[in-house]
Amino acid sequence: MKTSAIATSDLTAAKAFIDEQKTAQGNFPGPCPVIYTGEDIENAIKAGITAVITDDYTTTLEGIDIIYKVESPEQVAKISGNAFFVYGSADNQVGIINAIPKGSVILASVEAMQNDNNELERAKELQSQGVTAVLMEKACIGDNEDIEYSTFVIDGLTKKRSSTFNMSGLTGSTNGHFGGIAQSTSKSW
């Protein structure tokens, strides 16, 4: 599972993300795709979005990836595409995921900032069920904690380390550089 896109329903925000991401062209990492979830698809395409999430199963767009929003296995059966955004309660998501054809791209919605950081566990459960990527719903809300929280989530989903036993620099027996505890307390969101 990789973290590599920005999704928004706000066209003004989408334009700002697209303009900012143009500065990454030719660099590593390259531009982050901007996925539009709003209603004004025509203007979003003109602005330069990469993909749209839609629940209109008749939508066809030239040069833009379409991710179909599904909330039931019956909706999955109506779609001839191969990219799905699984939306709904955790209990409902399992049945939807099982209905999606193998080899499809599967995005799933997870509510951000849950008690005891349960969003990380839920995202990992979804990954084990075949989900390709998660969308942390409302993870960025425009306050000073957006970057810190986003970094916490990305690290929690992509790094291969314990989220409860956090030690750093334990290579002293090999190279003489002894570290210590990276953080003495855990941070809950």
pLDDT at residue number 172: 40
- Burial zone of 13 (CB within 10 Å; 0-12 exposed, 13-18 middle, 19+ buried): middle
Q: Are 84 and 135 in contact (CB under 8 A)?
A: no
| Whole-number Å distance between alpha carbons of 128 and 115 | 21
Mean pLDDT confidence for 29-34:
79
| Tens digits of residue pLDDT in 119-132 | 999 999 999 999 98
Give the number of residues written for the chain: 189
pLDDT interval class at 20 (50, 70, 90): confident
Amino acid at 67: I
Question: 68 by DSSP, 3-state: which?
Answer: strand
Note every long-range contact of 83-91, with CB atoms under 8 Å and residues 24 or more positions apart, other chains counting: 83/51, 83/107, 85/53, 85/109, 85/135, 86/131, 90/122
| Tens digits of residue pLDDT in 43-95 | 999 999 999 999 998 888 888 999 999 999 999 999 988 999 998 888 889 99
Of the candidates 137, 134, 71, the one whose C-alpha atom is nearest the C-alpha of residue 99 is 71
Rg (CA), the chain: 19
Task: Give the residues across from 80 on adjacent strands.
Answer: none
| Tens digits of residue pLDDT in 146-178 | 888 888 888 888 877 555 544 444 444 444 444
| Whole-number Å distance between alpha carbons of 48 and 162 | 39
The residue that leads in pLDDT, 140 or 123, is: 123
